[in-house]
Amino acid sequence: MKKYNVAVVGATGAVGTEMLKVMEERKFPVAELKALADPREAGAIVKFQGRDYVVEGASPDSFEGVQIALFAAGDVVKTLGPEAVKRGAVVIDNSSTFRMAPEVPLVVPEVNPEDVRWHKGIIANPNCSTIIMVVPLKAIHDAARIKRVVVSTYQAVSGAGIAGLKELEQQTRQWANGEKLVPDAFAYQIAFNVIPHIDVFEPNDYTKEELKMVFETRKIMHEPEMKVSPTAVRVPVFRSHSESINIELESPLDVETVKELLRKAPGIVVQDEPASKAYPMPLYTADRDEVFVGRIRRDDTVENGINLWVVADQIRKGAATNAVQIAEVLIGERLI
């Protein structure tokens, strides 16, 4: 099998570290690896396939000889992404920088893998909550077309990075010791609380996180008029996002048909046995790549309504794994 020179930008962060782990698990065909990060982190060590790699400060010259560049480092892609492309790499970017750019494909391999064919050097990885939602939506939409989606997310603190994880852990200890809880990573105390606010508020009083779910879903699904009404909530869970999704269809589908469609769809595990209390939960979906779907039931308040409960590891399927899967599609399509 042909192997490729791969750069991981942000290799020391939560998503970059997970990208290395996912590539190793999936036996991604890496010839040479470059672990890149902020120059201040140069000299740090990351492990891949049993070998230590010294982290280099990312610069335009870092991409010489690189065929695939996985970015997990935020805004730095604005400058370094085009430089990587100039040097012959295909960039797969986990930030929001290029997601809505018309010339950049926004890809979830279980939903729209064919979109990689029209890339011009950069492919965007969608927002984690969007990825988790569109994987089950795809199978249902293909069968009966979705008119409207109402989604409420229950997002783990790791979505805010290492600072979010540390804050929940620290506040839990402080609460147990009777100490004062002081928020830093979040606007309010997150331990034993939920915060209906992720990212900044826009003029229409939706948050940026919520609007990502609207516009990214439309682009991925190739449905520019699809109605999506989101509410994004931070919850005191370490890992894996949950979503309550209400769908209104153009034509009827019974619940058993929906379950069967989802069972046959790629990347989905149906866990739906209410009598035995079997349903998806963050506790049991962490470190998994599948999207788990349960609590599948009719919504009798609207014509052709369906409710779903969806849970997935947002660091893996919502970020690192999806990026690696995009690279696998590129290889499979012989686009590198």
- Choose, from 119, 128, 141, 197, the residue flagged as catalytic: 128
d(CA 184, CA 167): 8
Euclidean distance between CA atoms 96 and 209, whole angstroms: 10
Of the CA atoms within 13 Å of residue 109, those in its CB half-sphere come to 24
Which tokens go with 18?
């997970």
Residue 138, burial from CB neighbour count under 10 angstroms (0-12, 13-18, 19+): buried
Residue 206 sits at φ, ψ, to 5 deg, of: -85, 150
| Catalytic residue status for 222 | no
330 Cβ contact partners less than 8 Å away, ≥ 6 residues apart = 68, 90, 116, 123, 336
Nearest Cα to 89, choosing from 64, 72, 107?
64
Assigned token pair, 79: 């400058």
Residue 263 neighbours by CB under 8 Å, 6+ apart? 270
- Examine the residue annotation and report whether 241 is marked as an active-site residue of this protein: yes
**Residue in the block written with tokens 């034993």:** 192
Reading the block at residue 19, the tokens are 């990208």
Active site residues: 128, 241
